[in-house]
Amino acid sequence: MNPGFTLWLTGLPGAGKTTLATGVRAELVRRALRVEVPDGDEVRMHLSRDLGFSKRDRDENVRRLGFVARLLSSNGVIAIIAAVSPYREARECVRRSHDARRSISGPTWKASTSRDWRLYAGSSRAASSANATITR
């Protein structure tokens, strides 16, 4: 079984997060990998219905998305999250919860902390799924 991991795409509404997530998903599925892209609207409807859009509620929504992603990735599924997630501290909390569950032999996944970056999945420069690095 391939190790799971979480790819978190963040940005302003309409920035192309879902489009990018869909493209990355298609490439990973083509490579016979298990991938899930939890839909932000469905998560809001089913897991975060009680939340609004205050900072506290947005942080809690990010925490819940992170929990779902961690469950998927700990079971060998690549979780791609495309969410506005505007607050760095909430994203860092999710990252720490993922790091706490990473096995000693598990891979380390790095992502750009820059606002704008591109992933060229499927290009000759793209690494295998076990050695992928996201660069800007």
Residue numbers annotated as active site: 85
Using alpha carbons only, what angle is made at residue 18 by residues 7 and 36, rounded to the nearest 5 degrees? 50
Q: What are phi and psi for residue 79, nearest 5 degrees?
A: -105, 125
Q: Which helix (H) or strand (E) holds 102?
A: none
Helix (H, G, I), strand (E, B) or coil at 9: strand
**What's 70-82 look like in SS3?**
HHHHCCCCEEEEE
What is the C-alpha separation between 75 and 8, in angstroms, rounded? 17
Alpha helices (H) along 12-130: 17-30, 40-46, 55-73, 88-101
